[in-house]
Amino acid sequence: MIKRRVVITGIGAVTPVGNDAETAWQNIIRGKSGIGPLTRVNKDEFPAKVAAEVKDFNPEDFLDKKDARKMDRFTHFAVASALMAVKDAGLSIDESNAHRVGVWIGSGIGGMETYERQFETFLQRGYRRVSPFFVPMMIPDMAAGQVSILLGAKGVNSCTVTACATGTNSIGDAFKVIQRGDADVMITGGTEAPITKIAIAGFCANTALTTNPDPNTASRPFDKNRDGFVMGEGAGIVVLEELNHALKRGAKIYAEIVGYGATGDAYHITAPAPAGEGGARAMKMALDDAGVSPEEVDYINAHGTSTEYNDKFETMAIKTVFGEHAYKIPVSSTKSMTGHLLGATGAVEAIFTALAIKEGVIPPTMNYETPDPECDLDYVPNEARKKDVRVAISNSFGFGGHNATIVLKKFEP
């Protein structure tokens, strides 16, 4: 089977570092963090005191007020990002092409805020006062559903739920849909709004979140003094398009997606497999799928959560796959500025990876101060770096042992 070529023609994002992709990117390459004091819940009730919250976002800038009230915050983020991405791509969807335009948007935990509020209503006032929109507001697939409805996209419509690998899995799966010929365009990515009382409580209970109260130093991937991740929220959406379809309409192209790998650890519900064995297989699978050798990779956007085991084992996995070349590849974690957006994080990082290729700038890993002997690669510490990036990979790893890697390449006709 001839594999059809797939390119990124549109990007949209709502993030802690900016409510559109361009603003987010400019802040990232300047090293500007979106992490601040935890305000969406009472921080005095939790050991975690900081979060990467989306600021000054109004869903009514993108949606009718009545429609917005029927959606959870995670769907608001997805709709806004999708509308921006489609506009950026200059894509028109009508009856002539709607059945060839699909949507694949994932979420790790879906409408947690809606669930909390409606459960409190149920306890206090009984089932009759629970909103009839409770279920369609809460379920993770509704971001994809609402985007499909609003844009009139009638092709493949799906949702991935693979914890923190969700965004990357979604883009990878959508890439394969186009590659095999089941669609010409896919609107894809991830979205999450997990800064709620029960979600913060759950992640605090399993000691995954940092207890560092200083927003400026809380997220410190690969640094010896890291002690957990910073919860974030937001969405990232890309428009993927079959190459000839994009060229025919004169679309701009950010990068080409050329490979995808997805594996399972089969090891533990939260901890990564020893030495990052599953992550290494995902990277190798993606490189093999792309027909790219390890020596051709110029940049790795790491999962880099700022947790002890993730950063250590991801470093080991990179060494397993790249050997001595691992020490020559810049590896950075943008979570040092965005926090960890759970199911949205891989999609936002795919956008940053595509822009690194397009702009020739590698984002930094901020707050890198004390080297860890077990994390000894080039983490692009504290300052962006100009570099011609022809091939880059982006990694995402999730609870449940989910590993996903995509390979992006500078577009060449």
Active site (catalytic) residues: 164
Q: Tell me how far apart the terminal alpha carbons of the chain are, to the nearest angstrom.
A: 21
Helices 277-290 and 308-322: angle between axes, nearest 10 degrees: 40
HSE, side-chain direction, 13 A CA sphere, residue 248: 7
Burial class of 144 by CB neighbour count within 10 A (0 to 12, 13 to 18, 19+): buried
d(CA 98, CA 173): 19
Tell me the Cα Rg of the chain.
20
Residue 325: Cβ within 10 Å count:
15
Per DSSP, the three-state class of 371 is strand
Pairing of strands 299-301, 331-332: parallel
CA angle 388, 404, 358 (to 5 degrees): 20
Instruction: Report whether 286 contacts 259 (CB < 8 A).
Output: yes
d(CA 195, CA 190): 16
Instruction: Report whether 200 contacts 260 (CB < 8 A).
Output: no
At 135, the amino acid letter reads V
- CA neighbor of 105 nearest in space, from 67, 62, 149, 69: 149
CA 6 to each of CA 42, 179, 186, 243: distance values in angstroms, whole numbers, following the listed order = 45, 7, 10, 5
Per DSSP, the three-state class of 288 is helix
Place of tokens 């990002």: 81
Phi-psi region of 399 (alpha: psi -120 to 50; beta: other; left: phi over 0): beta
